[in-house]
Structure 1
């Protein structure tokens, strides 16, 4: 059999306009879908967790740039049933206690209806061979980023035009974490996510993803949080989980175990020494 071609390193790490993605058309739960996924060689990594009643997407600076482009491009799609799925191999255990991450599903509310049954089918499809490569265009994003940066100090909610919230929601269903919004809100999320890392605080930055309805103690149902040393945190959490579980009885409560892992991860990072800044 011919060897499957992988992406060139330069294109695999790209996060600009014209990003190459994979597409898989399929039917699930009586509807047609166009499933967009990252290519296997894409180096971006993500994780998820729930903390303070808020769903989090966790990554680093590169992941934020890519996620923002995905959101912006999704807002301009015209094909009903289009959906973006981020699943393995682009998921890490979370960088705190190494619990497994949920797949991330990005949904344009004006185009796509998703049931839990359809999501489970889409997740399986994401692991199957793709039907080809598509170019993910994000025209207008750079212009909007410039505008947002110029008006950053003037962005009071009452001064901004209202953003459509019809169909917007952040929820876990079908074994995946679903972020669903209409075009104007997808674009708002995109700008906020792409500009993460421009104001670091203790090597961390975050932005809330405001849909509608209930708000958690953090002020939103969703949040994207990035870390300069995200990958080192993931590695330390993996080691901490392995070491903690090796010394605990099988009947230990999961919440207690995760708290122990969270604390022990600090010990693992200290044992390894400070991160080297590039």
Structure 2
């Protein structure tokens, strides 16, 4: 897999920003539900996210970031809400604060051509996904005390594993998701003793759900006589989307 590479100055230091190439056939969305940030997609999206995480766990250097930019972000499949860009951060060697996030967001989408391409290596991931339960059992870091986090910083949803090993665990958890049997599948990221800060959720009909939710939202907004808050709008969109699916 080949990705684009750019050098960008953030918070006074040069950073290498890696991104998907135009034309990559994948879409993601994001939302906050039950105080947990969700990355939403289909099976293909989850597998690609896994490859991005796995490759970054090996190829990261200080100042390296992976950005999933607006061209690959779509509205949510539930209520058509706008979604945020996604950033993968190797927390063990790349600090990423609100200041970094603000500077990065101001430079998106990039105004210039990429500086070059990166060949993204994911050797070992396919073998891990052939039997993910066995791989996770054999490679679990039982001495780990600090886990990564998923959070929103200045309009960017940031996935921030704390170690290369944890990033590879996240990659396997994402890559093994399969919504075929039940229509939906999910995995937690940044899981603590009582909660998880992040979740990846995939849907068999993700693209159809996005399209229906977008149409439902447009119809509801067109019928409203005055602006309403999200707490009023979303249930109306949910009901309309269900009606459109019948």
1:93/1:168 CA distance change after superposition, 3 Å: same
Tell me which residue corresponds to 1:174: 154
1:72/1:163 CA distance change after superposition, 3 Å: farther
Instruction: Give, in whole Å, the separation in 2 of the partners of 1:70 and 1:25.
Output: 18
Matching residue within 195, 205, 229 for 2:176:
195
Tell me which residue corresponds to 2:210: 234
1:151/1:116 CA distance change after superposition, 3 Å: closer
TM-score of the superposition, structure 2-length normalised?
0.91
Give the 3-state SS of the residue equivalent to 2:70 in structure 1.
Answer: coil
Matching residue within 25, 38, 41 for 2:20:
38
Deviation track 1:207-238 (CA, whole Å, cap 9, x = no partner) reads: 111344761xxxx2111111111000000000
Q: Gapped runs of 5+ residues in structure 1?
A: 1-18, 271-278
> Would you say the 8 A contact 1:196–1:205 is kept in 2?
yes
For residues 251-270 of structure 1, the aligned pairs below 5 Å read 251-270=227-246
Matching residue within 52, 60, 73 for 2:42:
60
Give the 3-state SS of the residue equivalent to 1:89 in structure 2.
Answer: helix
Instruction: Give, in whole Å, the separation in 1 of the partners of 2:145 and 2:167.
Output: 10
Q: What is the count of residue pairs matched by the alignment?
A: 243
Tell me which residue corresponds to 1:10: none
TM-score of the superposition, structure 1-length normalised?
0.81
Instruction: Give, in whole Å, the separation in 2 of the partners of 1:163 and 1:69.
Output: 25
Tell me which residue corresponds to 1:132: 116
Tell me which residue corresponds to 1:107: 89
Q: Aligned Cα RMSD in Å?
A: 2.2
> Would you say the 8 A contact 1:22–1:134 is kept in 2?
yes
1:241/1:91 CA distance change after superposition, 3 Å: same
Matching residue within 104, 117, 128 for 1:122:
104
Structure 1 range deviating more: 162-171 or 31-40: 162-171
> Would you say the 8 A contact 2:60–2:90 is kept in 1?
no
Q: Gapped runs of 5+ residues in structure 2?
A: none
Instruction: Give, in whole Å, the separation in 2 of the partners of 1:246 and 1:126.
Output: 31
